[in-house]
A and B are shown apart, each in its own frame.
Chain A
C-alpha cells in the first residue's frame, strides 16, 4: 500500500501539479511539498506528491553501493 513512484512535475496550478509519469500525464495534489517547482522530480503516492526526488542523492547512493561492493566508479 505504500507504493509510490517518481515522476517529473511539468506544471503547477495552485495546489495541483501535472506530472509526467513515464509518458503519461497525471494530476496530483502538491500542497504538502510547497517548495517543489516545475522541472523537479517528485515521488507520488495515492494522488499526492509526498516528497521531492533528489537525483544528486540517487547518484551518491549508487556510488556508495559500488564502493560497498568493491566495484569501479559509477557511470
Chain B
C-alpha cells in the first residue's frame, strides 16, 4: 500500500528536527545542496529552511530542467511554433521562459501553434491524427524523463510516424554534480541527491564520480524523507565520512532501472552541452544517434545562452547565492514579471523562494 501518509508524520518530523538541532551544535556552517527542483519546491512548501538551525543552510542546485535549458533551445522552439504546418508540443513549465526574444506563451497569444502535453505519449496520437503536420516536441528533462521520450521515439519508429520530431535538450545529472564539486567557489558540504533521477540511474553511479567527495543522501520527496536526508548528511559530516547513502530504497534500487537506461542508450549518445547560466559541461547532454536522426528537430540558432542583464540565475543555480541575494529578486523580477529562468519555472529556485520564503534569513 501507499505509505506516503506515514512519511508526513508530524511527531516524527519534530523528533528528527530535534535530532538535527542536536547534531548541528557540533558542526560549523553546513551547506547542503538539494539538487532537484522538486525538492526545492517541497522544502519551500513545508517551510523546512526556516525550521533548521542557523548553521544548516539548504542551497538549491541546477536541478530545474527548464531553468538550465539554453536560450537557443527556447528560440528554436519559438521558431518551430511559428512555421507553417508545425505544432510545437511542450511540457507546461517551458511555456513562459523567454529566450533571446519572445516566450512560447507570447507567440501562442499571436496565433502560433503550441500544444501543452503532460506525457510524451500524447505526441503519438497527435502525429497519427495530423499526418500533414510536423509535431516538434521540446524534449527537456533529466534522467527521470528521458526514458519516456526514448520510448515515445521507439513507438513512433514502430508506427512509422515521420512527422514526429524531437528538439532534444535533455541534460544528465552526474556530469553536473562533477562540475559543481570541481568548482572551487561552491563550498558544498553535502548533497540531497534526487530520488527520481536516481530511480533510473541507481546508487552506484554516484560512487564513480571522482569529484564527489562529500556526503550524499539519495532522498525522497516527503517531509520525513527530506529531514532523514539532512540528518544522514550531518551524521556523515560528524563521522567525517563521505558516503552515498540511499534514503529512498522504496523507489531507488542500487542498480537503478537498467531497462530505462538501455532505452536511453539505444536512441541517444552523450554530448557536451550548455547549461543556461552555468556554461558548457562535458558530456552532460544528449543527441539522437545517427540512425534515428529522422526524428531530430535541430537547434536552429546558436549562441543565445546568455542570461538577461542583471540576472543572477547562474549564481543561484550553483548555490553561490540564494535568490534573495539577487538585486532583482522580488522587485524587478517576480513571477508576474520574470526576468530570469529560475523565476519563470514553477520549480525554479527563485519562484519557489518568492512563493514560500520571501521572509528569509
User: Which residues from chain A sit less than 8 Å from chain B, CB to CB?
Assistant: 1-4, 6, 8, 29, 31-34, 41, 43, 45-48, 50-51, 53-55, 57-62, 64-66, 68-71
Residue of A1, A54, A55 near B145 (CB, 8 A) is: A1
Do the beta carbons of A2 and B144 come within 8 Å of each other? yes
B34 to chain A, nearest CB (A): 12
Do the beta carbons of B3 and A59 come within 8 Å of each other? yes
Contacting residues, chain A, for B6 (C-beta < 8 A):
58, 62
**CB of B37 within 8 Å of the partner chain:** yes
For the complex of A and B, list the 4 residue pairs with the smallest distance between their C-beta atoms, beginning with the closest.
A47-B119, A69-B15, A58-B3, A58-B250
**CB of B36 within 8 Å of the partner chain:** yes
- Asked, given contacts A48-B148, A70-B19, whether A2 binds B194 with beta carbons under 8 Å apart, the answer is yes
Do the beta carbons of A69 and B12 come within 8 Å of each other? yes
Task: Please classify the interface of chain B as helix (H, G, I), strand (E, B), loop, or mixed, using the class held by over half of its residues.
Answer: helix
Contacting residues, chain B, for A1 (C-beta < 8 A):
37-38, 64-66, 91, 93, 140-142, 144-145, 347
A64 vs B22: C-alpha distance in the bound complex, in angstroms?
Answer: 18
B315 to chain A, nearest CB (A): 22
Do the beta carbons of A45 and B3 come within 8 Å of each other? no
A45 to chain B, nearest CB (A): 6
The residue of chain A having its C-beta at the shortest distance from the C-beta of B3 within the complex is A58
B158 to chain A, nearest CB (A): 11
- Asked, given contacts A2-B142, A70-B19, whether A55 binds B121 with beta carbons under 8 Å apart, the answer is no
A53 vs B195: C-alpha distance in the bound complex, in angstroms?
Answer: 12
**CB of B253 within 8 Å of the partner chain:** yes
Residue of A32, A41, A43, A69 near B1 (CB, 8 A) is: A41
Inter-chain pairs besides A29-B151, A66-B12, 10 sampled, C-beta below 8 Å: A2-B144, A29-B148, A50-B199, A50-B200, A54-B250, A55-B1, A59-B3, A60-B249, A61-B249, A62-B224
Do the beta carbons of A53 and B250 come within 8 Å of each other? yes
Interface centre among A31, A43, A46, A58 (most CB of B within 10 A): A46
A60 vs B248: C-alpha distance in the bound complex, in angstroms?
Answer: 10
Residue of A6, A51, A62 near B253 (CB, 8 A) is: A51
A64 vs B220: C-alpha distance in the bound complex, in angstroms?
Answer: 14
A34 vs B250: C-alpha distance in the bound complex, in angstroms?
Answer: 18
B154 to chain A, nearest CB (A): 8
The residue of chain A having its C-beta at the shortest distance from the C-beta of B41 within the complex is A3
**CB of B231 within 8 Å of the partner chain:** yes
Residue of B16, B119, B260 near A46 (CB, 8 A) is: B119
A31 to chain B, nearest CB (A): 6
The residue of chain B having its C-beta at the shortest distance from the C-beta of A62 within the complex is B6
B148 to chain A, nearest CB (A): 5
The residue of chain B having its C-beta at the shortest distance from the C-beta of A21 within the complex is B2
Do the beta carbons of B260 and A54 come within 8 Å of each other? no
Do the beta carbons of B121 and A51 come within 8 Å of each other? no
B residues 156-210 with Cβ under 8 Å of A? 194-197, 199-200
**CB of B293 within 8 Å of the partner chain:** no
Do the beta carbons of A50 and B257 come within 8 Å of each other? yes
Do the beta carbons of B66 and A54 come within 8 Å of each other? no
Do the beta carbons of B121 and A45 come within 8 Å of each other? no
